[in-house]
Chains A and B, each alone.
Chain A
Amino acid sequence: MASITTSVPVVERKQTRSLRRTTRWVERVAEGLVVGVSLVSIASVLLILVFVGKEALPILTSAKVHQEVTFGALFGSYGSAGYAWQPVSEVPKYSILPLFVGTLKVTFVALAVSVPLSVAAAVYVAEFAPRRLREYVKPAIELLAGIPSVVVGFFALIVLATWVQRVFGTEHRLNSLVAGFGLAFAVCPVVFSISEDALRSVPDAYRSAALALGSTRSQTLLRVLLPAAMPGIAASIVLGFGRAIGETMIVLLASGNAAILDASLEHSTRTVTATIAQELGEVVVGSPHYHVLFALGALLFLCTLGVNLVGERVVFGMRKRLGGR
């Protein structure tokens, strides 16, 4: 600031010209640097696509890999063993169905818990809470997202698992319920934060008009505000879903990690992310198993990419409206 308020020194003509040239040179280099560095984000997304895809590709192309597993076999069953994921058994079995079903099971539990809770909390904070209280509650809930997932996983493993077993009387200590409840800790702040933004981006005129027409607060909320905020709330659920299927440490610690294909929430289960985390460390680089794990990662990446593209598009429009108000 100080340099601007000081008066411009009188300089000789010759000096001015060279100064101008240096300045122009600095300007150009600076702008080039800024543009160049900001390309890192684009490069990163592309490199992730290319390098995860590259290690996944042999599953489609390599004859050596095909001796053990093909892309089609990933979705098929293995005779009497059924849909089995046993990559290190004598006859390796690579059915990824139980893993995806496991991911969906824990995600279902997490969303069933966190969507009603978070949307209701968003309604309270956006519509009912006194202004002073709102200023504390919102950051506090968002702090949940600041707890490292390995800590939540640890808590689920040591504490939640005991509680769940006591309440639901489950046979296995670690199961889809425990993992799903643990995941809810990570999903709640996502759904809450975006839903609250969605509700606040509904123009005040809607509220005034509904109340002026004689609606009660609950009628205003259910018939006017929630429908108006629905795209944003839907997006928050979609992004919460994306967060849940991609989470690793919580499910790795709390799900029990047994690759069993069934619909029960009380059995141990194994998710896509936990499989990669657990097996990649011990796998022989370049083996069929190695490439299958990368294929799992690539599928997961594509899933979350699709989910996020949809969710972000809605949220972006909503935030723009919110910012313009």
Chain B
Amino acid sequence: MAAATTIPPESSRLALKPNAGDRALVGATTLATVIILAMLVIVLADVVIGGSHVLSWEFLTQAPTDGMTKGGIFPAIFGTVALTFLMTIVAVPAGVATAVYLTEYAPPDSRLARAIRVCIANLAGVPSIVFGLFGLGFFIATVGRAIDVAAYGGQPTYAKPSLIWAALTLAILTLPVVVVSTEEALRAVPRELRDGSLALGATKFQTVTRVVLPQALGGILTGGILAVSRGAGEVAPIMFTGAAYFLPYLPTHLNDQFMNLGYHVYVLATQSPDVDKTKPLLYGTVLVLLLLTFVLNLAAIAVRARFRRRLLQA
């Protein structure tokens, strides 16, 4: 008691009022947050300022000319869209099915489900360049060669860099994005809806396809959009599996090579003999790529927020 009375009464109030140490801490952490946000803003601002005056209808619809110092980037846009489209129709169904298995079908404490989760987590951590090596070693040198031997008499038709192999490589790379997003959405669907459906006599599959999946549509959509955004921006996995510097024609077959926005940026930035001449085109290409991926990311955030709110209300 004697010790307690020696403490001046103000000390307890000091603890509640922010002192110098607290202020410094809040200030320093605020500054760190501002710096990271500034990194985002600076990149965006630089690309928008550098690229916006290059954007024009001609730039978006014409092919490059004069050794890539003039003209547009239409083949690169076309190639990127074709690539991500093929990737999406593989990655989204596979990812959704995996998420459905993990949340709806796998028994609790299932070993298989755990193995799948570990693999998904690791797949997300594999460096993108290793996906490139894998695509070359597996899809082109093994699957492609097997197809050629079986159907084309050994003529190199599919055993070469192609749209389809690049798309499949990217599909594996983006699979974890779809799975994680879909799984999160499936978990958010209330148990009562499943129980209600089953109690009304619906089978498991009917419950999944008509009750659970429609409720989780927002998460699936988010995952799909994020996967497209990721796939559209990746360069390392497609360098050896299908992307080309320059093609005078658009890809029309699965085994055609293709031009790609990200790869085009890399080529313009490193292989150009005259950097100052290509710089405007480079900025324009980066802006288009950024618009494509960034707008998709924003859309994913918006969709997710909207569906979360709706789920909360329901």
**Which residues of A are in contact with B by a Cβ distance under 8 Å?**
1, 3-4, 8, 23, 26-27, 30-31, 33-35, 37-42, 44-45, 47-48, 51-52, 54-55, 116-118, 120-121, 123-125, 127-129, 137, 139-141, 143-144, 146-155, 157-159, 184-185, 188, 192, 211, 214-219, 221, 239, 242-243, 245-249, 252-253, 273, 276-277, 280-281, 285, 293-294, 297, 300-301, 304-305, 307-309, 311-312, 316
Contact = CB atoms under 8 A, between A and B. Distances in A.
Contact of B123 (A26, A41, A149): A41
Given A41-B98, A51-B137, A192-B36, A155 B125 contact: no
17 contacts: A39-B116, A41-B119, A44-B172, A117-B35, A120-B32, A125-B33, A141-B37, A146-B294, A148-B234, A216-B21, A217-B22, A221-B25, A246-B127, A249-B266, A297-B130, A301-B130, A304-B125
B125 A246 contact: yes
Contact of A146 (B132, B137, B263, B297): B297
B128 A121 contact: no
A253 B136 contact: no
Which of B137, B197, B293 is the most central at the interface, judged by chain A CB atoms within 10 Å of its CB? Answer: B137
Given A141-B40, A304-B125, A47 B134 contact: yes
B249 interface: no
Given A4-B197, A38-B97, A159-B46, A117 B32 contact: yes
B311 interface: no
Contacts of B43: 147, 151-152, 155, 185
B259 interface: no
A128 B282 contact: no
Interface string B134-166: 101110011000000000000000000000000
Contact of A143 (B40, B46, B203, B263): B40
B119 A44 contact: yes
A294 B39 contact: no
A121 B18 contact: no
B121 interface: yes
B210 to A, nearest CB: 6
A188 B36 contact: yes
Instruction: Report whether over half of chain A's contact residues are helix, strand or loop; otherwise say mixed.
Output: helix
Interface stretch (B53-61, B68-76, B235-243): B235-243
Contacts of A277: 129, 132, 236, 239
A1 B197 CA distance: 9
A185 to B, nearest CB: 6
A45 B123 contact: yes
Interface of B: 11-12, 15, 18-19, 21-22, 24-26, 28-33, 35-37, 39-40, 43, 46-47, 93-94, 97-98, 100-102, 104-105, 112, 115-116, 118-134, 136-138, 141-142, 172, 175-176, 179, 196-197, 200-205, 208, 210-211, 214, 229, 232-236, 239-240, 262-263, 265-266, 269-270, 279, 282, 286, 289-290, 293-294, 297-298, 301
Contacts of A120: 28-29, 31-33
A47 B133 CA distance: 12
Given A1-B214, A151-B290, A248 B128 contact: yes
A312 B121 contact: yes
Given A48-B134, A117-B32, A124-B33, A41 B40 contact: no
Contact of A294 (B11, B137, B204, B263): B137
Nearest to B34: A121
A300 B130 contact: yes
A294 B301 CA distance: 38
A52 B133 contact: yes
Contacts of B141: 55, 285
A48 B125 contact: no
A37 B97 contact: yes
A202 to B, nearest CB: 16
Contacts of B138: 47-48, 51
Nearest to A221: B25
Contacts of B172: 40, 44
Contact of B94 (A23, A37, A211): A37
A93 to B, nearest CB: 22
Given A37-B93, A218-B25, A281-B240, A308 B133 contact: no
A297 B235 contact: no
Contacts of A33: 97
Given A245-B127, A309-B118, 7 more contacts: A42-B116, A45-B122, A120-B32, A124-B30, A128-B30, A216-B21, A277-B236
The 8 closest A-B pairs by CB, nearest first: A148-B233, A246-B127, A120-B32, A308-B125, A124-B29, A146-B297, A37-B97, A38-B101
Nearest to B137: A51
Which of A140, A146, A218, A297 is the most central at the interface, judged by chain B CB atoms within 10 Å of its CB? Answer: A146
A159 B44 CA distance: 12
Contacts of B282: 154, 158
Contacts of A140: 37, 40
Nearest to A311: B125
Contacts of B265: 150-151, 154
